[in-house]
Chains A and B, each alone.
Chain A
């Protein structure tokens, strides 16, 4: 009886799980390829302005110029080429910022959850204080303080979002530390830090990986938001965020400048979060 009721949904889930892994991977692969091969695949120089060719519509609308597939923006720059080069910055920020955030937050979470006591009290209070800030305003403020540039953007993301990791990992570490196998390992003479690394870390790893994927998507968005308020890197540089900002301003004249980077952002964020869920299910020993 139990068998029949359980096997049906699980079979369906594993069938969907594959698509859930492969579709996001496919899109992220395209983005990665565009980023790496940008100079080879981009039809134009992303910075090249040509006022004779401003606001050309994309290929499916009359009045376009051959070679400018997705049209041009208000300064006559090729939208497709800027998107391809924008993928470089998007991927760079998402990889570096998410990794830094993950390391920073996970370590604090592990320490708070495992050592408890004052460690936990201080870190938890810090998380409370951090959570009382509106994150976007905090990011804008941090970048304003540190000055614009890619480094500031990455630092701002890490300084704001570490709480996401710290909270989840702390809670999971606390649960894991109470389990028997940790006690037995400790009685066996293993040092505490070694126990943390050998017994607890592997068990919270699925959550860390899922959060890391989620964070990559969030980092892309935060970069876009900072570009949007003109605080990321110089506004000439091709980032999806700056294209969106430009598209928002020129929306009544050239909506495609907003549409295409928006689609790219949309798919990238969706891919990262779906991938995170899929990976979590795959690595979670309980769900296996």
Chain B
């Protein structure tokens, strides 16, 4: 039963990924502007251009190029970046940790802030505090991450400059890590200077990404908590002497959390999509920032690689969410 669901999901996933590959491939090739011309110094001959074209496979027909490219991708070969002259997979995987750490940090902040607001709103349901939670979350929700980023740049970068507004880590730090997971590896190696600096740089972009999702979580979770808090088992818990906060945390939260979990899963992909512009805004050295450079420089192989990686990431996350939904609900698990 579970296996069948997973199998169907995997097949549709493959179809979607193939579609994404087709769209990206077509899109970057109808783009005006000749990437080859941009690579060569002025005064290069026709023959030079032809040579380079052959080198990157641009001399073949589009369908041929697609087949060659897809064949490479399936073997883990994403081609070579035109501007950076390095294998795309190395470049992309080198930047992925930065984006992943940022996204996870943002997710953590969103869940924490949203969860706390929801619990407070549910605890004080019917009072002015709840109205306050509603109003604030409603307003926060409608402002996208880009604007929050700018607000933070202005407040903590300029008016009250306590945080760095660009980069991922203090460049003066000597970092000889084997991976680019500065936070995780820093923790493992006990390099807390690196961890601290990375977190300080990450805080504002992560907050920008987190706020709209936090507001969404606050609204949905509060609503579901209120629905659960009229259930008989919560009444019974009150009779047994548990206070309202204990009832919310011990009895209601897990029952109310399932819809929120789905929301978080779906929205997490949007959050990761948001890293593209937020990384740009904070000059954070992640995938998104690299992607915009790649687009501006018409670096076709790199664009393809990054977009495909994002798409794969989105789809895998959706899959994980679906599975964890099943695992967290005992009724589904045994059913």
Contacts and interface: CB of A to CB of B under 8 A. Distances in A.
B273 A145 contact: no
B253 interface: no
A262 B159 contact: no
Contact of A129 (B19, B153, B272): B19
B153 A132 contact: no
B20 A132 contact: yes
A224 interface: yes
Interface string B129-152: 000000000110111101100110
A147 interface: yes
Contacts of B150: 244, 248, 258, 262
A251 B298 CA distance: 29
B153 A269 contact: no
B280 interface: yes
A240 to B, nearest CB: 11
B62 interface: no
Contacts of B306: 137
Contacts of A258: 150, 153-154
A128 interface: yes
Contact of B143 (A135, A244, A269, A277): A269
Chain B contact surface mostly: helix
Given A134-B288, A142-B27, A248 B16 contact: no
Interface in A204-253: 217-218, 221, 224-225, 228-231, 244, 248, 251-252
B158 interface: yes
Chain A contact surface mostly: helix
B15 interface: yes
Q: How big is the A interface, by class?
A: 35 or more
Interface in A241-288: 244, 248, 251-252, 255, 258-259, 262, 265-266, 269-270, 272-274, 277
B310 interface: yes
Contact of B314 (A125, A131, A138, A272): A131
A108 interface: no
Given A137-B291, A262-B147, A228 B142 contact: no
28 contacts: A125-B15, A125-B16, A125-B19, A133-B310, A134-B274, A134-B288, A136-B273, A137-B310, A141-B303, A141-B307, A144-B31, A144-B296, A221-B144, A221-B147, A224-B146, A225-B146, A228-B277, A228-B281, A229-B296, A251-B154, A255-B154, A255-B159, A258-B150, A258-B154, A266-B143, A269-B144, A272-B142, A274-B138
Interface of A: 125-126, 128-129, 131-138, 140-142, 144-145, 147, 217-218, 221, 224-225, 228-231, 244, 248, 251-252, 255, 258-259, 262, 265-266, 269-270, 272-274, 277
4 smallest beta-carbon distances between A and B, as pairs: A273-B142, A134-B273, A129-B19, A132-B311
